[in-house]
Structure 1
Amino acid sequence: MAITAQRFTALDVFRGMTVCFMIIVNTPGNGATTFSPLLHAKWHGFTPTDLVFPSFLFAVGNALSFVMNRYRTMPTSQVWTKILKRVIIIFMLGFLMYWFPFVHWEEGRLVGNELGSTRIFGVLQRIALCFGIAALLVYYLDGRRALMVSIVGLLVYWALLLLFGEPGAQLTLHGNAVLKLDNWLVGAKHLYMGEGVPFDPEGLLSTLPAVANVTAGFAAGHFLQKQGKNYEALAKLLLTGCTLLLAAYLWNLTFPINKKLWTSSFVVLTVAIDCIILALLVYVIDLRGKTTWTYFFEVFGRNPLFIYLLSEVLSILLYFFRTGDESYYAAIFKSVFLPLGGYVGSFLFAIIFMLICWIVGYLLDKRKIYIRV
C-alpha cells in the first residue's frame, strides 16, 4: 500500500504535549517544593516526568517519517549534507546553551564561564545525535530493519554496562560504564553536576539505546501513514504498546528501568507508553474528530525546538539577573507564588512560565513563522 500524504493532527498534538510538559517539569518555581510526579526518579524507577524526554525523541522519529520520502528522491550527498547540517546545528545550540550567558557572578563581579568546564553532552546534543543516527539507519535500511538494528543496540548496551562497569556496581551512579566512558572521553569538568558528582544522564554511551526511541517513533509514524485513520490501525498500535509494556516490566526484573542510565528496559517502557498515548490521540482526534482542544498543543508542536530553547534561555536569564542577593527567578517565586503555598506556588510558576512560552509560539504561528534547523 502506498503511504498517504495526509498529515495526522494526532502526531502534531503528541509533539506539542511533549514540549509543553517538558517546559513545566524543567521550570518549577522551587525544586524543593515540587509535586513528586514532576520530579525524575532518583535512580532506578519511573515517574511521569521520566517520560518527557524519550517522548520528544519518539516525536522526532514521527517527524522523520514524513520527510524520509523526500530524502529518498535526493542525491545521497545532499541527504548527508541535510542530516549532518541539522545534527551540527542542534548539537552546537545545546553546547552554547550550557555555556550561555558566557559569564557568571562571583563575589559581586562578573567572571567569564570557562570553555574548559562547559558541559558537552545534554538534551539538545542527544536529540542531534539520535536524529542523525536514526535518519541514516532509516535512509540506508527500511524502517523495519532500522528498528531491528536499534533492538540489537538495546541488547548490546545491556552487555556493555555489565562488561565494562565496576564489578558488582555496574548499575550504580559511581560504577557505571556510561560515566567511565565520559570521564575518559571528555573529563569530569565537562559533565553534568546535578547528581552532586560528575555524571551525565545524556552521556555518549547511553545515546546508543536512545536511538531506539527515534526509530520506534519513525516506525509508528510510518505505520499510521501507511494504514490510515482506522480502527484496525488503532488496535494494532494499542496491542503493540501493551505488549511492550509487559516486556519492559519483565526486563526490569534483571535490567532495572532507569532514566539516568537510559537502560534498555526504560526504552521499551517509554516506547510502550508513547504508542498507547498516540493511539488514544488518534482515536480522539482523528477518528472521533474531537479537535476543539488541540490548537493549544499544536502551537508547541509547530516550533518545538525553538520553543524549548526559548524556555531554557529565558530560565537561564532569570537566574542570571539579580535583585539584591537573589536571582529574579527566586525573587519572583518568593514574592508572587510562594504566598499561594510552596507546592501549589511552585506548580503555578511552572504553568505561567509555560504559558509565556506558548504566547511566543502563538504569535509565531499567527505570522506563519516556523523556525526549522
Structure 2
Amino acid sequence: MTTSELSSCLYNMNTESSPRLLSLDIFRGATVALMILVNNAGDSKHKYPQLNHSKWHGFTLTDLVFPCFLFMVGVSVVFALDKKKAILTDHKKIIADAFRRMTLLILISWAILLFLKHDIPADIESYQAKISYLAAHLRIPGVLQRIAVVFFIVSLLYLKTDQRFRSYLLIIILLGYYIILCFIPAPGLTYPSLEPETNWGAWLDQLILGTGHLYKVTWDPEGLLSTLPSIATCLLGVQAGSWLKRKDIDTGAKVSWMFVYGITAIVLGLFWDIFFPINKKLWTSSFVLYTGGMAIAALALIYWLVDIQGRKRFTWPFVVFGRNALAAYILSDIIRAVFNMVPVGGMGGMEFIQTRLISTLFSSPYNASLAGSLLFVLLCWLPMYWLYLKKIIIKV
C-alpha cells in the first residue's frame, strides 16, 4: 500500500467496506455550522448570550462547539485507521502521513493569521519591519493548531495502544490535570489558582511561548497545558467510534451503551463542577466529562434516528458541511478576512453588509446580528454544496 493510498483513506470513510454512517457527517456538519455561526457574529455587540463563550467559569452553547469537533476527530480516527492498523504491522507510513497533516494544518493556521488577520500599525512602513512585527506578534497556539496536535497524538495512541490503555490514560489525564491546577501552586504563588493569569497553564505559556505570542498576552485559551485534557476529549470520541465499529453487538445495544456512557459522563461532570468548575478556557476535567457526555449522547441520538430508523429528511444541509468540515472552517476565516479587506463606504465589507443592509430589516439588533451570522454560514455553505454535488472531499 502506497503513501497516497493511505492518505486517501484518512478522514474519508468512503473507502470503508461497511456502509457509510450518515450520522457522523450530520453531527460533524452541525458542529462546524455552529462553529462558523458563533465565530462570525453579524454584530459582536449584540449577540444572544448563548452565542458567546462563558467569560470564565460556566457554560454556554458556544462552549460545546470545540469539544464536539475534537470528539468527532476521535471518531474519525477510528474509522480512518481501523483497517490500516490491522493490515499493516509497520505503521511508519500512517504516522508519517498523520505528522504531515498536523504540520500542514498548523502552517495553514499561521498563514491565515499572518496574511489575513493581523493588523500592522500604520507607522511601520518597510517590508522588513512589517515581517519583524508579524513574527513578534504571531499567535502560536490556536484552534486549528490544537486540532492538528490532538489529531496526531490520538492517531499515535490509536495505532500503538489498546482501548484499555486509552481508558486508563483518559482517567490519568483528568485526575492529573485536576491535581495540578487545584492542589499545586504555580511558581511565584503560595496557593493554587484557577484565575486566568495565575494558573499553571498561563505560567507555562508565558515561560515557553512568551507574552507576544498568546491570544490574551498573559494567557491563551488554547495553551500548552490545556492541550492535555483536550486529548481526553478526543479519546472519548475514539471510544464512541470503537463502539460504532463493533460488529459483535447489535445497533440497539450500541445506542443504549452510548446513552448510558454519555449521561454518566454528564452527571460526573456536573458533580465535579462543584470542586473543579466547568471552564472551557481552562478545558477543565469537569468540562471534558460534561461536554464529552453531551457529544456521546447527541451522536447516539442521531445514529438511532438516521442510520437505524432511516429518518434522513432535512439532514442533507448538515451532510454538505460534514463532508468537508475542516475545509469549511478554514474557508470561513478566509472569507471574512477577504471581505473585510475590501473597504465599502468607509468600512469593511462585512460591516457594511451588516450595518447598511441587514440591520435595516430588523427592529431588534440581536435578531439582526443573528441574521448576519446565519447569512455568513450560508455564504460558507454554498461552496461546500458545490463540492458536495461534485463529490469532492478536500483532505488536508
- Give the corresponding residue for 2:6: none
Q: CA deviation at 1:96?
A: 1.7
Is 1:154 aligned to residue 135 of structure 2? no
- Give the corresponding residue for 1:125: 145
Conserved? CA contact 1:104–1:110, under 8 Å:
no
**Residue number among 353, 370, 375 corresponding to 1:352 in the alignment:** 375
Q: CA deviation at 1:132?
A: 0.9
| Farther-moved stretch of structure 1 (333-342 vs 240-249) | 333-342
Is 1:222 aligned to residue 235 of structure 2? no
Is 1:261 aligned to residue 282 of structure 2? yes
- Give the corresponding residue for 2:273: 252
**Residue number among 22, 47, 52 corresponding to 1:9 in the alignment:** 22
Conserved? CA contact 1:302–1:365, under 8 Å:
yes
Q: Which structure 1 segments of 5+ residues have no match? A: none
| Farther-moved stretch of structure 1 (26-35 vs 311-320) | 311-320
Conserved? CA contact 1:121–1:203, under 8 Å:
yes
Secondary structure of 1:31's counterpart equals coil
**Residue number among 335, 339, 351 corresponding to 1:330 in the alignment:** 351
Q: Distance in 1 between matches of 2:214 and 2:382?
A: 33
Is 1:86 aligned to residue 101 of structure 2? yes
Is 1:174 aligned to residue 197 of structure 2? yes
- Give the corresponding residue for 1:321: 342
The 1:336/1:108 distance shift into structure 2, 3 A limit, reads farther
Q: Distance in 1 between matches of 2:250 and 2:332?
A: 34
Give the counterpart letter for 2:49 in structure 1.
S
Give the counterpart letter for 2:380 in structure 1.
C
Q: Distance in 2 between matches of 1:35 and 1:258?
A: 19
Consecutive aligned runs of 4 or more in structure 1 exceeding 6 Å deviation: 108-111
Q: Distance in 1 between matches of 2:93 and 2:240?
A: 26
The 1:175/1:57 distance shift into structure 2, 3 A limit, reads same
Listed as ranges, the matches of 1:41-120 within 5 Å are 41-72=54-85, 73-74=87-88, 75-101=90-116, 104=119, 106-107=121-122, 112=130, 114-120=134-140
Conserved? CA contact 1:103–1:110, under 8 Å:
no
Q: CA deviation at 1:148?
A: 2.2
The 1:4/1:267 distance shift into structure 2, 3 A limit, reads farther
Q: Distance in 1 between matches of 2:218 and 2:342?
A: 26
**Residue number among 19, 22, 25 corresponding to 2:35 in the alignment:** 22
Q: CA deviation at 1:102?
A: 7.3
Secondary structure of 2:119's counterpart equals strand
Relative to the length of structure 2, the TM-score reads 0.88
Secondary structure of 1:354's counterpart equals helix
Q: Distance in 1 between matches of 2:114 and 2:304?
A: 43
Q: Distance in 2 between matches of 1:254 and 1:27?
A: 34
Q: CA deviation at 1:150?
A: 2.3
Q: CA deviation at 1:175?
A: 0.8
Conserved? CA contact 1:4–1:226, under 8 Å:
no
Q: CA offsets, 1:130-176, max 9 Å, x none?
A: 11111111111113322321221111112222324344451001211
Q: Distance in 2 between matches of 1:273 and 1:262?
A: 15
The 1:248/1:9 distance shift into structure 2, 3 A limit, reads same
Q: Aligned pairs, how many? A: 368
Q: Distance in 2 between matches of 1:240 and 1:362?
A: 35
Q: Distance in 2 between matches of 1:219 and 1:91?
A: 26
Is 1:183 aligned to residue 196 of structure 2? no
**Residue number among 383, 386, 389 corresponding to 1:366 in the alignment:** 389
- Give the corresponding residue for 2:162: 142
Conserved? CA contact 1:229–1:287, under 8 Å:
no
- Give the corresponding residue for 2:12: none
Q: Distance in 2 between matches of 1:214 and 1:151?
A: 13
- Give the corresponding residue for 2:258: 237
Q: CA deviation at 1:68?
A: 1.7
**Residue number among 279, 301, 304 corresponding to 1:280 in the alignment:** 301
Conserved? CA contact 1:303–1:361, under 8 Å:
yes
Over the matched positions of the two proteins, sequence identity in percent amounts to 34
Conserved? CA contact 2:185–2:191, under 8 Å:
no
- Give the corresponding residue for 2:7: none
Q: CA deviation at 1:214?
A: 1.0
Q: CA RMSD in A?
A: 2.0
Give the counterpart letter for 2:291 in structure 1.
T
Conserved? CA contact 2:117–2:337, under 8 Å:
no
Q: Distance in 1 between matches of 2:394 and 2:196?
A: 38
Q: CA deviation at 1:84?
A: 0.7
Q: Distance in 1 between matches of 2:117 and 2:54?
A: 31
- Give the corresponding residue for 2:3: none
The 1:167/1:297 distance shift into structure 2, 3 A limit, reads farther
Q: CA offsets, 1:34-54, max 9 Å, x none?
A: 011111000000001100000
Q: Distance in 1 between matches of 2:118 and 2:178?
A: 40
